[in-house]
Structure 1
Amino acid sequence: MTEELTHINAQGRAKQVDVSDKAVTKRIARARASVIMQEETLRRIKSGGMKKGDVLAVAQTAGIMAAKKTSELIPMCHLLLLTGVDIHFEDNDRDQIIITATVKVTGQTGVEMEALTAVQITALTIYDMCKAIDKSMRITDCYLLEKEGGKSGHFVYEEEK
Structure 2
Amino acid sequence: MTDSTVTDQVALSHLNQQGEANMVDVTEKAMTSRTATAQGFIKMNRATFDLITTGKHKKGDVFAVARIAGIQAAKKCSDLIPLCHPLMLSKVQVDFTLDNENSHVIVTSLCRLTGQTGVEMEALTAVSVACLTLFDMCKAADPAMEIHGIKVLTKAGGKSGQWHAN
Please state whether the residue corresponding to 2:29 is helix, strand or coil.
coil
Q: After alignment, is 47-56 or 18-27 more displaced?
A: 47-56
Is the counterpart of residue 22 in structure 1 residue 7 in structure 2?
Answer: no
Is the counterpart of residue 125 in structure 1 residue 133 in structure 2?
Answer: yes
1:108 corresponding residue in structure 2:
116
Q: CA separation in 1, counterparts of 2:118 and 2:11?
A: 18
Name structure 2 gaps, 5 residues minimum: 1-6
Structure 1 residue 123: Cα displacement: 0.1
Is the counterpart of residue 58 in structure 1 residue 94 in structure 2?
Answer: no
2:46 corresponding residue in structure 1:
39
Q: CA separation in 1, counterparts of 2:120 and 2:146?
A: 23
Identity across matched positions, percent: 49
User: Which of 79, 86, 93 does residue 86 from structure 2 map onto?
Assistant: 79
Q: Which runs of 4+ in 1 moved over 2 A?
A: none
Q: Deviations over 1:14-34 (max 9, x none)?
A: 000000000000000000000
Structure 1 residue 46: Cα displacement: 1.0
Count of residues in Structure 1 that have an aligned counterpart in Structure 2: 158
Q: CA separation in 2, counterparts of 1:8 and 1:92?
A: 41
Task: Give the structure-1-normalised TM-score.
Answer: 0.96
Q: CA separation in 1, counterparts of 2:48 and 2:135?
A: 10
Q: CA separation in 1, counterparts of 2:150 and 2:136?
A: 18
Task: Give the structure-2-normalised TM-score.
Answer: 0.94
Is the counterpart of residue 138 in structure 1 residue 152 in structure 2?
Answer: no
Please state whether the residue corresponding to 1:53 is helix, strand or coil.
coil
Name structure 1 gaps, 5 residues minimum: none
Q: CA separation in 2, counterparts of 1:27 and 1:92?
A: 30
> Residue type matched to 1:51 in 2?
K
User: Which of 74, 77, 82 does residue 70 from structure 1 map onto?
Assistant: 77
> Residue type matched to 2:116 in 1?
Q
